[in-house]
Amino acid sequence: MTATQNATDRAAQSAVVSLDGVSQRYVTDSGDVVHALAETDLTIPEGEFICVVGPSGCGKTTLLKILAGFLEPTGGAAHYRGKQITGPAAARGVVFQQPNLYPWFTVRENVALGMRMRKVGKKQRTEKAQEYLELVGLGDSGDAKPYELSGGMQQRTQIARVLANETDVILMDEPFGALDAITRGRLQADLLSLQRAQHRTVFFITHDVDEAVFLGDRVLVMSARPGHVVLDQHVTLSADAGHMLGEEMRRLPEFIELREKVAGAIER
């Protein structure tokens, strides 16, 4: 067997999620057909942090819904660890663009909800919820009700809830889009260090090129319509970058170069 075949086999074996000829057409209420996504192949290996950027309407959320199992594609199939995705599963956690908390539960109870459903004991789930609340900077807000929190804090609660579930795959749809710049910068750094420590497989949608290159091991640039991948870019920075979080990494010449390459692909 050749080295290339070996590498191909390894990639196939370690694929956590894959899209195999997936395409999507929507039929609108008025009967028009929207070709939202062209035939797409994609393999996401174990532990990869993949970011997807592209203009509004290019099919990013459609891709995420297919991977989550909320939407069955009109063409092709998506797979999770070799099995066709036919519906949502607890192994794939989803962070939506907008917070979706239960108003009658406290912030801590919201974060612990998934653990409670998995019958994790009260002491353990309370501790874990607290740990993730601290990670998102809400260590003192556990007893509050969601309505007592700002929109940004509610969004951070949603992120804590999904991270606390410690799912195999994390799917995030512009999770930091509505946050102020300071909070966003902090959460980016925290998410990155968490991902490095836990080696989670992350599929992250953003329209912010800087965020994509900062977080991603790999950046996909999509173009409308029908949505398709125009650039599939691995982010390989110098070995030193592995422990950099924030401005230090953003100042690396290689970082700036990659950011310009990705931005250029979007504008084309």
**Binding site residues, ligand ADP, CB under 6 A:** 26, 28, 34, 36, 54, 56-62
Taking Cα atoms as reference points, which of 92, 112, 40, 104 lies closest to residue 200?
Answer: 92
In the complex, the smallest distance separating the C-beta of residue 30 from ligand ADP, rounded to whole angstroms, is 10
59 binds, options Mg ion, ligand ADP, none, Cβ within 5 to 8 A by partner type? ligand ADP
Q: Which residue has the tokens 């910068």?
A: 185
In the complex, the smallest distance separating the C-beta of residue 247 from ligand ADP, rounded to whole angstroms, is 29
102 binds, options Mg ion, ligand ADP, none, Cβ within 5 to 8 A by partner type? none
In the complex, the smallest distance separating the C-beta of residue 100 from ligand ADP, rounded to whole angstroms, is 17
- Under the binding rule (CB under 5 A), the answer on residue 24 touching Mg ion is no
- What whole-number distance in Å separates Cα of residue 266 and Cα of residue 173? 18
34 binds, options ligand ADP, Mg ion, none, Cβ within 5 to 8 A by partner type? ligand ADP
Q: Segment 48-77, which members bind Mg ion (CB under 5 A)?
A: 60-61
Q: Which two tokens stand for residue 42?
A: 């994609």
Measured from the CB atom, the residue of 88 and 121 that comes closer to ligand ADP is: 88
- What whole-number distance in Å separates Cα of residue 202 and Cα of residue 204? 6
- What whole-number distance in Å separates Cα of residue 223 and Cα of residue 239? 31
Cα first-last separation, the chain: 40
In the complex, the smallest distance separating the C-beta of residue 60 from Mg ion, rounded to whole angstroms, is 5
Structural contact between residues 54 and 228, judged by C-beta atoms closer than 8 angstroms? no
In the complex, the smallest distance separating the C-beta of residue 43 from ligand ADP, rounded to whole angstroms, is 20
Neighbouring residues of 144: CB distance < 8 A, sequence distance ≥ 6 = 106, 107
175 binds, options ligand ADP, Mg ion, none, Cβ within 5 to 8 A by partner type? none
Which phi and psi (to 5°) does residue 221 adopt? -105, 130
Measured from the CB atom, the residue of 38 and 252 that comes closer to ligand ADP is: 38
**Which residues contact Mg ion by CB under 5 A?**
60-61
